[in-house]
A = this chain, B = another copy of it.
């Protein structure tokens, strides 16, 4: 598995084909490797991710976890000079003054390919208590909404379309795709997209939507809220908690976005239902 490019590994496997015959062939696999995120010398969290865009992933994670806030600055990213695993370790240096938010009570765990809210042992600590989205009369047309899935597919790699990887996209209300990121973990794809926006000084994304290729669970909605995103559209199903969270957070949640159908689970006022 040495030929890893663009998050894809290649390996020899045995494949049983449609006609029942067997063949040895090379197969593309999504790369899954740990990334240890350090703040200075402190190992903060390890996430199972697809390599690439590591700085964005770290920045988005710190935003999602409330350690770095909108308007804060990250001083620099670096790799440790001496480590066998240096490509799987990223050191974040926060601007002076931000270190104080890393109290001793903050403990993050290892985050597997679909996890996004690790770090707190008790129920009370799951929610970050970000304020609800401030409504700015953002509205989206049905035609714009229905165009998103094919827009996303065009931007995704061929490999992504095979289902081995998740995608997250940030889109403006006029339907322009701004950022697309892919990762084996859906939370990582979301963190990478938010991280890119943060590094470009675009937060809060209060005139943008989040489009995710899979399901919408609680942590996806909370990450969107951390970035100030008022509308989340998922290709697949939301969970009960995602719906409840969206209602409380003034977020519009759209699920099963499979043109020409979709469901609206919360804050319907942001969808122009008469636009088609």
Contact residues of A with B, CB < 8 Å? 1, 4, 9, 11, 13-20, 22, 27, 29-34, 36, 43-46, 48, 85, 88-89, 107-123, 125-126, 142, 162-164, 184-187, 215, 217-219, 236-244, 260-265, 268, 273, 276
Contact call A114/B112, Cβ cutoff below 8 A: yes
Number of copies of this kind of chain in the complex: 2
A85 and chain B: residue at smallest CB distance: B123
- Contacts known (A29-B239, A218-B32, A243-B11); A125 close to B142, Cβ less than 8 A: no
A125 and chain B: residue at smallest CB distance: B110
Task: Tell me the minimal C-beta distance from A231 to chain B in angstroms.
Answer: 14
Contact call B142/A16, Cβ cutoff below 8 A: yes
> Contacts of A265 on B, CB cut-off 8 Å?
11, 13, 27
Contact call B240/A15, Cβ cutoff below 8 A: no
Contact call A260/B217, Cβ cutoff below 8 A: no
Which one of B1, B13, B36, B262 contacts A264 once the chains associate, using CB atoms below 8 Å? B13
A47 and chain B: residue at smallest CB distance: B115
A273 and chain B: residue at smallest CB distance: B22
> Contacts of A142 on B, CB cut-off 8 Å?
16
Tell me what chain A mostly uses at the interface: helix, strand, loop, or mixed.
Answer: mixed
> Contacts of A119 on B, CB cut-off 8 Å?
109-110
Contact call A15/B122, Cβ cutoff below 8 A: no
- Contacts known (A89-B123, A112-B219, A217-B184); A20 close to B276, Cβ less than 8 A: yes
Question: What would 20 more interface pairs be, CB under 8 Å, given A14-B264, A112-B117, A163-B236?
Answer: A1-B244, A11-B240, A16-B260, A18-B260, A20-B260, A27-B265, A32-B241, A36-B121, A46-B126, A88-B123, A107-B107, A107-B121, A109-B120, A109-B121, A110-B118, A112-B118, A113-B239, A114-B185, A164-B215, A184-B217
A268 and chain B: residue at smallest CB distance: B14
| Bound CA–CA A48/B240 (angstroms) | 11
